[in-house]
Structure 1
Amino acid sequence: MLEQFPPAEAVALAAFAEQHGFTGVMASDHFQPWLPQQGESSFVWSVLAALGERTTGDLGPGVTTPTFRWHPAMVAQASATLASMYPGRHWLGIGSGEALNEHIVGEYWPEAHERINRMFEAVDVIKKLFTASIAGREVRHAGPHFKLETTRLWTMPPVAPEIFVATQGPVTAKRAGRQVDGIITTGADDERLRVLLAKFDEGAREGGRDRSKLTRVLQLHLSWAPTDEEAMANALREWPIAGMRFARGDIRSPFEFEQLARSVRPEDFTGRLTVSSDPDVHRAHIQRLIDLGFDRIYLHNVGRNQREWLEVFGRDVLPRLVR
């Protein structure tokens, strides 16, 4: 979470994580932190390049929005460059955006259905650029939301980065199954996750795609500390977002989130965030998600106690997970 740590510290923590058994990194793309006290929000593409130098696993933005702050062509160029630097390691995570980050350019903030349509058109532009550039051809695009004059990417790896779409809704999951290489979602109750994965697979079947070659990614927030009391204190202080049981895509300021966070209580995390000092409780939860069908699970311990957590999970949790 680049909202919580300065970029150099975040890179060092990712390297420390790899030393303790973790095999990949998802870095958040925010212009602002969720809450003022989080205190940071560095530029994800710079951090990803540094992560590539310090680690050996996969890496990607989780997720970037190529529809407001960025034109899809710029995201395509950034992704192609990273994939050229670190062959076979980079994937491109794409989302429809939240006002917290995207409203800063001063454009009209549309409703969710339009944001999703913009996202899928952006995916189309990026895929066109990737395909044409690998073939050494130029391409153009004229759609309802984006225009691209005749051009190509001049730095392009032989194999395009995988494109994953982030969603928490079944309709978007099905659409993603037809169009992209994978899905990214966040932790939720098991039944909701089953529905998302089923819709993603359904879309893949309708698109005549090989489901075994598609990737199912989960971003799992959790709170671990040496005591249950510390774990809950970390959750309330650092990640009250998990306890907000309402849509947050239209909230524009960290200071608005700060006001809303004051209403979050420990019981609001039930079913939304595992808060425990027991590594085995977390291990059982992660194993259940693996059994649901997720191929990659990126863990975010919400507290600042990162090195302590990485040591404990590297020793007591990761080795006991069964794929």
Structure 2
Amino acid sequence: MRIGYFLSCEEYAPDQLIEQARLAQDAGFHGLWISDHFHPWNDAQGQSPFVWSIIGALSQAVRIPVTTAVTCPILRIHPAVIAQAAATSAVLHDGRFVLGVGTGEALNEHITGARWPFAEERLDMLEEAVDVMRQLWEGDFVTHHGRHYTVEQARIYTRPPAAPKVYVSAFGPRSVQVAARIGDGYISTQPDADLVKQFRQFGGGDKPAQGAFKGCYAATEDEGVRVAHRLWGTSGVPGELAQVLPSPRHFEQAAQLVTPEMTRESLPCGPDPAPYAEQLKTYADAGFDEVYVANIGPRYAEFIDMFRREFL
């Protein structure tokens, strides 16, 4: 199982993201994930730079693969524009760019005032969006009049020799079937062996499966829990709330349901490599080919160095 590093745009400023990418490459991480958000999950995180600007900067800073985790091409930005952005990114990264896609969250996608669709409709929109992007990557003029999207005489001129790979995020049986049918790979932040198995059985075969988790390097476990709970207690918000809540302040309200002990149980915290090793093993046992790790808080250089010493 290959280990990559996860750049959290919600928490770090652009210069910090580039610094982390360089440190990760020097430490021997396989590749990079980078989140694509308009808003952070809460105000404590405090950042949200435009991902395509960061991806362009990364092309001049590192030479390891970069995957968006994940871009939602269905509402906030038209899939034709995402297709152009992904093609340019693939050119800049010499083909080492992967477009990770998913059905998104209202937190980021409602900002244009468009109606936030139900989950089943968003899956249909995602499937059509991926089809539109692949048509455009073939290099001819495209006119498309679909159920959800219209494209009129559009052509992408700056393209890589091979079309970008598209990995699809999925967390339930229906979405896993879509991921297996349309994706070049699978993305999840849950070490769920059943979902990986379903992806492969539904047609994913031996396509790559990427997973990810966060940890918080700190002097002690208790300090790590405090930092992680302040910055990422929102990751414990249950059920479908993460897809439908529209603003950081709503996530802050919902996160009041998440206790520090729940954060302690869900995330490896502190300087001891053992909890991180246990988390890595859950993803290996679930059948993932790659796992991307993110640090929470300011001590990312020490986190990266710990992974260099212990795991890379």
With normalisation by structure 1, the TM-score equals: 0.90
The superposition leaves residues 67-119 of structure 1 with CA deviations (integer Å, 9 ceiling, x where unpaired) of 11111100000000111122221000111110111000001111111111111
Are the structure 2 counterparts of residues 272 and 228 from structure 1 closer, same or farther at C-alpha, using a change threshold of 3 Å? closer
Rounded to whole Å, the distance in 2 between the matches of 1:215 and 1:63 is 15
Following TM superposition, by how much is the alpha carbon of 1:243 offset from its aligned partner in structure 2, in angstroms? 2.1
Rounded to whole Å, the distance in 2 between the matches of 1:169 and 1:123 is 19
Following TM superposition, by how much is the alpha carbon of 1:260 offset from its aligned partner in structure 2, in angstroms? 2.1
Rounded to whole Å, the distance in 1 between the matches of 2:196 and 2:239 is 22
Q: Does 1:267 align with 2:261?
A: yes
* Structure 2 equivalent of residue 208 of structure 1: none
Rounded to whole Å, the distance in 1 between the matches of 2:284 and 2:239 is 27
Rounded to whole Å, the distance in 1 between the matches of 2:282 and 2:189 is 14
Rounded to whole Å, the distance in 2 between the matches of 1:139 and 1:203 is 30
Q: Does 1:22 align with 2:16?
A: no
* Structure 1 equivalent of residue 217 of structure 2: 224
Equivalent AA in structure 1 for residue 162 of structure 2: V
Find the residue that maps to 1:26 and give its secondary structure.
strand
Q: Does 1:76 align with 2:83?
A: yes
Following TM superposition, by how much is the alpha carbon of 1:265 offset from its aligned partner in structure 2, in angstroms? 0.7
* Structure 2 equivalent of residue 149 of structure 1: 152
Find the residue that maps to 1:144 and give its secondary structure.
coil
Find the residue that maps to 1:186 and give its secondary structure.
coil
Q: Does 1:63 align with 2:63?
A: no
Within-5 A mapping of 1:149-168 = 149-168=152-171
* Structure 1 equivalent of residue 202 of structure 2: 203
Following TM superposition, by how much is the alpha carbon of 1:270 offset from its aligned partner in structure 2, in angstroms? 6.5
Q: 278-287 vs 32-41, which deviates more?
A: 278-287
Equivalent AA in structure 1 for residue 164 of structure 2: P
Rounded to whole Å, the distance in 1 between the matches of 2:197 and 2:86 is 29
By relative contact order (CA 8 Å, sep 6+), the higher-ranking structure is 2
Rounded to whole Å, the distance in 2 between the matches of 1:288 and 1:70 is 35
Determine if contact 1:174/1:202 at 8 Å carries over to the other structure: no
Equivalent AA in structure 2 for residue 281 of structure 1: P
Q: Does 1:39 align with 2:46?
A: yes
Q: 118-127 vs 170-179, which deviates more?
A: 170-179
Following TM superposition, by how much is the alpha carbon of 1:242 offset from its aligned partner in structure 2, in angstroms? 2.6
Q: Does 1:238 align with 2:225?
A: no
Q: Does 1:53 align with 2:53?
A: no
1:99 to 102, 106, 111: 106
With normalisation by structure 2, the TM-score equals: 0.93
Determine if contact 1:276/1:282 at 8 Å carries over to the other structure: no
Are the structure 2 counterparts of residues 143 and 29 from structure 1 closer, same or farther at C-alpha, using a change threshold of 3 Å? same
Determine if contact 1:59/1:89 at 8 Å carries over to the other structure: yes
Q: Does 1:171 align with 2:171?
A: no
Following TM superposition, by how much is the alpha carbon of 1:303 offset from its aligned partner in structure 2, in angstroms? 2.3
* Structure 1 equivalent of residue 3 of structure 2: none
Equivalent AA in structure 2 for residue 62 of structure 1: A
Equivalent AA in structure 1 for residue 198 of structure 2: K
**Where do 5+ consecutive residues of structure 2 fail to align?**
1-7
Rounded to whole Å, the distance in 2 between the matches of 1:24 and 1:54 is 13
2:188 to 181, 185, 190: 185
Following TM superposition, by how much is the alpha carbon of 1:300 offset from its aligned partner in structure 2, in angstroms? 1.1
Determine if contact 1:67/1:119 at 8 Å carries over to the other structure: yes
Determine if contact 2:179/2:186 at 8 Å carries over to the other structure: yes
Are the structure 2 counterparts of residues 167 and 180 from structure 1 closer, same or farther at C-alpha, using a change threshold of 3 Å? same
Within-5 A mapping of 1:79-90 = 79-90=86-97
Equivalent AA in structure 2 for residue 55 of structure 1: V
Rounded to whole Å, the distance in 2 between the matches of 1:233 and 1:270 is 9
Are the structure 2 counterparts of residues 100 and 31 from structure 1 closer, same or farther at C-alpha, using a change threshold of 3 Å? same
